[in-house]
Amino acid sequence: MRRFLYLLLATTTVMVANLASAKAYKGAEIYSNASYLYGRYEIRMKAAKGSAVLSTFFTYKNGSEVGNTFWEEIDIEVFGKNNATEWQSNIILGSSRPTIQTEQTHAAGVSLADDYHTYVVEWTPDYVAWFLDGVEVRRIIGTSTVTSLTNAQSLRFNLWASDSVEWVGAWDDSILPVYQFINYIDYKAYNPVTKAFEGGWRDDFDQFDTSRWGKANWSFDTNRVDFVPENVVVKDGILVLAMTTSSATGFSGTPPADSGSSASSASSSSLVASSSESSTSVSSAPVSSAMTSSSVQSSEAASSVAVSSIAASSTASALASSTATGGSSGGSGGGGAMSGLWLVLLAGAALIQINRTRRIHITL
């Protein structure tokens, strides 16, 4: 009987914690089950439009959010504000909090939400470069910012909404639902001997490959949405990430066709040869993650700092340090009369919430 009561207490505590942390809006995120050291990452994406909304692709060293672990992350984030005409490149790293940021904002000249566009990140021991539609937009060469990126990183897409008005604009939930559409991701491994990008794999999202990807079920502070698996949909060869209200998750429409994907892929193929001058002999093969899923943190804005995210297992409930908590699963919070036991459990859940690592913006 005592064993049963302990089990009931543990289960109920988790349920109360989830209810207490549930948010009114739901977003989506996927993460790779493997991590990769260096490489070329090409994605074809149609961003979501709307103030406060962010459509992202980034690489992330799992566990970076834990304590004073050295953070490693490379970002592409498309702003939904201002007709989605701007995007941000960034490298986040460092053991101290706030972390070191290298964010730059780039004007696209067109709305990145009106059509699909091709984004590329090249990561080698000597440089990190960002491309949009075959044109190099930014390159960081040989600095400690680049040479400090020494660990394999998972691959992430997410659609979320920041509460930092000065960064992403004011929130207006009347825009919901909004969607991020991803046609494909093409990964090439980096060969340090030939200094070229070779081999690898490509996912055209004809199905959701659970051997390669997991679906997030967590959130973090400053994020207006919970990530829920229901908002990750693959349809007609397109990965759809949805941002919705809690009562209208999912996607039932028809993804917009990408008529320019073949031409874009051909034009960007000329960028595969690396311009790195390094002869560093570091393996570029995929490396299994120590935790196949960890918390994830999208980069913060110009003059902002990323301080936390959520740790979770891809096959079980959240794993975390004392400064991170598992995110909420889908569904909205509930209320009603509570017995004394429920009040005790709710107090425990509140302590869990208080212990949550903060993700804040600091003006530098």
From 29, 65, 73, 300, active-site residue = 73
- Decide if 280 contacts 149 (C-beta within 8 A): no
**309 HSE (CA, 13 A, CB side):** 25
Query: Residue 270 gets which letter from DSSP?
Result: G
CA distance readout (Å), 102 to 90, 93, 145: 5, 9, 8
Cα–Cα distance, 284 to 148 (Å, whole number): 16
Active-site residue, 42 included: no
> Which residues partner with 63 through β-bridges?
none
Longest dimension (CA), the chain: 68
- Decide if 29 contacts 228 (C-beta within 8 A): no
Q: CA angle at residue 26 from 219 to 238, to 5 degrees?
A: 105
Query: Residue 128 gets which letter from DSSP?
Result: E
From 77, 103, 122, 300, active-site residue = 77
Active-site residue, 73 included: yes
Indicate which residues carry an active-site annotation: 73, 77
